[in-house]
Amino acid sequence: MQYMKKIGGPIDPECDCYACQNYSRAYIRHLIKANEILGVRLLSIHNINFLTKLMEKVRIEIENDSLLEFKKDFYKKYGYTND
Ligand SMILES: [Zn+2]
C-alpha cells in the first residue's frame, strides 16, 4: 500500500504541506472516493497551507506596492483569464 501513496505527483509540486510531501493526489482521490476521512483531512491540510501562504505573499506584495502585478501572475498561473 505504501507505493500507492507516491503514484503520480502531489496535489501541488510547489507546496510544502504534509499532504503534498507525503501523499500523491491519486492516492488522496482514492481515499475520497472510498469515503475515507483521511482524504478530506489531507485536502484540508493542503488548502489551509495554500491559503496561509497566499495571504503571506499578499501582505508582502501590499507592502511592496506590487499587488496588481502579483494578481496578474496569480491569475495566469492558475488559469483564470478574466481581469
Ligand atoms: Zn500541499
- Report how far ligand 1's centroid is from the alpha carbon of 24 (Å): 10
pLDDT digits (tens, 9 = 90+) for 44-54: 999 999 999 99
Of the ranges 5-14, 16-25, 72-81, the best mean pLDDT one:
16-25
- Report how far ligand 1's centroid is from the alpha carbon of 82 (Å): 26
Does the pLDDT value for residue 6 go beyond 80? no
Residues sharing a CB contact under 8 Å with residue 4, sequence separation 6 or more, in sequence order: 24, 26, 27, 30
- Report how far ligand 1's centroid is from the alpha carbon of 51 (Å): 10
d(CA 47, CA 52): 8
- Report how far ligand 1's centroid is from the alpha carbon of 25 (Å): 10
All three cell numbers of 53: 501562504
Predicted TM-score of the model (pTM): 0.83
Could you tell me which of 57, 30, 56 has the C-alpha nearest to residue 42?
30
Does the pLDDT value for residue 82 go beyond 70? no
pLDDT digits (tens, 9 = 90+) for 40-79: 999 999 999 999 999 999 999 999 999 999 999 999 998 8
- Report how far ligand 1's centroid is from the alpha carbon of 52 (Å): 11
The per-residue pLDDT for 80 is 86
Residues 83 and 74 sit within 8 Å (Cβ to Cβ): no
